[in-house]
């Protein structure tokens, strides 16, 4: 069995050596494709790792003092600076106006909303709800990373709020002190609000569909290559092309 296999391998190698076109294809195609694929992967990694300033819009509707105090703390500002995120307050009175400002300016990656009863809820030892709307403008790695910047802002905001409550809220339950906020994240895609759909879930769904499409294309290419290889092998065994060339018909008719 091993001897027959070695003979088959030897025969195939001899066929390749006799036909320089096959040898050229086997060597030239990897030489071209591998560097191109490497450059593409390198560009994607560098664009993702590149530090870019990301801007998040803020709509502060709080009628108390806690939100302003948290936003003005040095700890909060330091965390945003380390993450490369800029928080800018927009002039709006409600969600619709704020979203209009964010969607009309491509510099904003997301919108953070602090409700009117923010301070009152916390002083009553109740969790305060914070809303965030993430705009997905494209599926490039850089844009996806920028779109998730609002989660960094919310994490820094909650940590700074916890430190502030330690000094102002008096005796509170440890569970409330460690988690004083409830976050409600939604996704905005092509101007349409997807309520309750977290951006990570939305991006995962789109990425999985793109992967399935690419996988299907690869399968089709493999099947096509197998069909071509089978046709060439069958022609070599049966000598059908030589027989066709002896017929009194044109080459175009044979191809058709």
Where are the domains positioned within the chain?
7-50, 51-197, 200-256
Q: Is the dihedral of CA 235, 237, 242, 247 positive or negative?
A: negative
User: HEC string of 24-71?
Assistant: HHHHHHHHHHHHHHHHHHHHHHHHHHCCCCEEEEEEECCCCCHHHHHH
What is the percent of the chain where pLDDT is above 70? 72
What is the percent of the chain where pLDDT is above 90? 10
CA distance 49 to 43: 10
- pTM here is 0.65
**Cβ–Cβ < 8 Å for 89, 59:** yes
Mean pLDDT across the stretch 228-235? 67
Q: Is the dihedral of CA 138, 139, 141, 145 positive or negative?
A: positive
Each residue of 179-205: pLDDT tens digit? 888 888 888 888 788 888 887 787 778
Does domain 51-197 match CATH 3.40.1710.10?
A: yes
* Residue 239 Ramachandran class (φ > 0 left, ψ -120 to 50 alpha, else beta): left
Q: Would you place residue 115 in the very low, low, confident or very high pLDDT band (cuts 50, 70, 90)?
A: very high
Lowest mean per-residue pLDDT among 95-99, 124-128, 144-148 = 144-148
The pLDDT, as a whole number, for residue 51 is: 46
């Amino acid at each position: 069995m091993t001897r027959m296999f070695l003979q088959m391998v030897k025969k195939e190698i001899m066929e390749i050596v006799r036909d320089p076109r096959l040898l050229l294809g086997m060597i030239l195609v990897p030489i071209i494709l591998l560097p191109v694929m490497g450059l593409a992967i390198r560009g994607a990694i560098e664009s993702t790792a590149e530090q870019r300033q990301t801007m998040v819009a803020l709509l502060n509707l709080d009628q108390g003092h806690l939100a302003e105090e948290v936003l003005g703390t040095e700890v909060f500002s330091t965390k945003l600076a380390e993450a490369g995120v800029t928080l800018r307050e927009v002039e709006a009175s409600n969600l619709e106006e704020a979203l209009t400002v964010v969607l009309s300016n491509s510099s904003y990656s997301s919108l953070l909303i602090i409700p009117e009863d923010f301070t009152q809820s916390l002083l009553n030892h109740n969790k305060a709800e914070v809303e965030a709307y993430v705009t997905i403008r494209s599926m490039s790695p850089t844009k996806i990373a920028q779109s998730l910047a609002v989660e960094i802002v919310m994490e820094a905001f909650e940590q700074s709020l916890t430190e502030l409550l330690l000094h102002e809220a008096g005796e509170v339950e440890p569970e409330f002190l460690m988690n004083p906020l409830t976050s409600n994240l939604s996704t905005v895609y092509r101007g349409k609000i997807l309520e309750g759909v977290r951006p990570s879930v939305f991006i995962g769904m789109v990425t999985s569909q793109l992967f399935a499409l690419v996988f299907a294309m690869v399968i089709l290419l493999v099947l096509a290559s197998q069909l071509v290889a089978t046709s060439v092998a069958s022609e070599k065994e049966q000598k059908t092309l030589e027989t066709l060339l002896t017929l009194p018909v044109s080459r175009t008719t044979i191809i058709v």
